[in-house]
Amino acid sequence: MPEHVDLTHPIEDGMQTYPGDPAVELSDHATHDADGYHVEALTCGSHTGTHVDAPLHTESDGDPLSAFSLDRFVFDAVRIDCRDCEPRDAIAPDRLPDSDALADADMAVFWTGWADHWNTDRYLD
């Protein structure tokens, strides 16, 4: 069975957002003690955390994310280790594996290690 790698970060109350975007707020809407069940209210912008930009984000006649099926976002990928690259430096073409390795992949994923900076000011740099 193929390995699946989840590239997402969890949505958490007060988590980091892009400057100027709405803050993330999670709160209890209903609780077991008061209501007999639990429901959380979630307020956030559509660009919160790990996300996919839909064409509608930049094109007025573009499709919203709901127009795409989930299987559109599952890929066979080759991972390219770029953790030793300096921040903001271009990733040189010589980092790419040979064409045989790329031929079997739907996409290349560049592993920058930047997730280590999640929820820090440096992450947004």
Look at residue 101 in the predicted model and tell me its pLDDT: 86
pLDDT 10s digit of each residue in the chain, 125 long? 568 888 888 999 999 999 999 999 999 999 999 999 999 999 999 889 888 889 999 999 999 999 999 888 888 999 999 999 998 899 999 999 988 888 989 999 999 999 999 889 898 87
d(Cα 70, Cα 49) in Å, to the nearest integer?
Answer: 18
| Domain assignment of residue 5, yes or no | no
Q: Are 12 and 44 in contact (CB under 8 A)?
A: no
Look at residue 2 in the predicted model and tell me its pLDDT: 65
Whole-number Cα distances in Å, 80 to 15, 24, 48, 118, 124: 28, 32, 26, 20, 22
DSSP-H helix ranges across 9-73: 32-35
**Within this chain, do residues 77 and 31 fall inside the same structural domain, yes or no?**
no
What's the total number of domains in the chain?
Answer: 2
Look at residue 73 in the predicted model and tell me its pLDDT: 86
Which domain covers residue 102, as residue numbers?
Answer: 68-125
| Domain assignment of residue 60, yes or no | no
